[in-house]
Amino acid sequence: MTQELVEGYQARYARAQGEAERAVRLATFGSAEAGGWTTIRQVEQLTSRLGLSPGKRLLDVGSGRGWPGLELSRLTGCDTVLSDVPVAGLASACARADADPVLRRVSFVRASGTALPFRAGAFDAIVHTDVL
């Protein structure tokens, strides 16, 4: 990811989401928390396709503000690691996770999808929705 792209996403993630944007996301994607183009229906399909459940580990590469990784964790009880480069996105996801006791099993790492700091086989499933 180029520095220019990182800075652009930093600015986007640092901007507070207004009520109008939340309403549009709810009407369009089925969740006001949606941060990309993945719908709540698609997230629900991922839960069964990926076999996520308590005790399973999920990696969300390019997680941004945490959509859909946080929702997948909430729906299934799986342990989730959100990874991305722009810190503002991870900070937003972290704040959302801290505010929801159900999401205490979510952790965060600043890492590029091209240089992940995990050993092979560390996760049961990996998602990378809305990543260029």
> 54 in a domain, yes or no?
yes
> Are 35 and 67 in contact, with CB atoms under 8 Å apart?
yes
Find the domain containing 99 and state its range.
3-127
Q: What is the pTM of this model?
A: 0.84
pLDDT score for 37: 78
110 in a structural domain: yes
The string of pLDDT tens digits covering residues 47-106 is 989 999 999 999 999 999 899 999 999 999 999 999 999 999 999 899 989 999 889 899
How many domains is the chain partitioned into structurally?
1
CATH no. for residue 115? 3.40.50.150
Query: Residue 59 domain-assigned?
Result: yes
pLDDT tens for 15-33 read 777 888 878 877 877 777 7
Average of per-residue pLDDT values in the chain: 88
* Residue 132 located in a structural domain: no
User: Percent of the chain having pLDDT more than 90?
Assistant: 59
**pLDDT at residue 53, rounded to an integer:** 96
- Report yes or no on 49 lying in a domain: yes
Report if residue 74 sits inside a domain: yes
Residue 91 included in any domain: yes
Contacts of 33 (CB under 8 A, 6+ apart): 25, 65, 66, 67, 70, 71, 96
- For residue 16, the model assigns a pLDDT of 72
In a domain, 11, yes or no: yes
d(C-alpha 63, C-alpha 80), whole Å: 11
